[in-house]
Amino acid sequence: MGHRLSKIVTRTGDAGETGLATGERVPKAGLRIQALGEVDELNCCVGLLLVQPMPITMHSALTLTQHELFDLGGELSLPGSELIKPQFLARLESELLLLNAALPPLKEFVLPGGNPSAAAAHLARAVARRAERVLWALKAQEPVSELAPQYLNRLSDYLFVCSRVLARSDGASETSWRRN
């Protein structure tokens, strides 16, 4: 395999356009590029979460998630492709059910925080929700696979459950929202 990024400074984006995998030039302000940026930011947040203390099974699942997010980015950069597979969603749901089984039921909303690991999971969850919203906006304008926004929805749920598990991992706890 050749080098994918042999030259980093290309100056090809200096006029406000960027290239898709198809070779097509598109505005950087377009929704497809915004969606790509949101997915990239989400992957960075998952990376930040991965350097926090966590159970090895969660670490393995989140590492796999990073690869799936790259697949999603590839799908977005190559319009018409479908790289997100049903088994990606099934895996997230399975992981979520396993983690959630050991948690007490929620009686109120949870404030983001708890400890650094849980806070990082909450941040990733919020970015996943934003990425999902942008993907739905893109889907309203042009074709996007059915599974792409669904994947982000499952991932945000999974990250929320991760935050709950991580908040308890070092003896800390969640802080429930209290109504004024």
- Number of CB atoms found within 10 A of residue 137's CB: 14
- Top-confidence range, 9-23, 61-75, 104-118, 165-179: 61-75
Q: How far apart are CA 156 and CA 176, in angstroms?
A: 19
Q: The pTM is what?
A: 0.89
DSSP the chain: ---S-S-S---TTTTSEEE-TTS-EEETTSHHHHHHHHHHHHHHHHHHHHTS---HHHHHHHHHHHHHHHHHHHHHHSTT-----HHHHHHHHHHHHHHHHTSPPPSS-EES-SSHHHHHHHHHHHHHHHHHHHHHHHHHHS---SHHHHHHHHHHHHHHHHHHHHHHTTS---EE----
Classify domain 32-99+110-176 by CATH number: 1.20.1200.10
7: exposed, middle or buried (Cβ count in 10 Å: 0-12, 13-18, 19+)? exposed
Render pLDDT for 105-162 as a digit per residue (tens, 0 to 9): 888 888 888 899 999 999 999 999 999 999 999 999 999 999 999 999 999 999 999 9
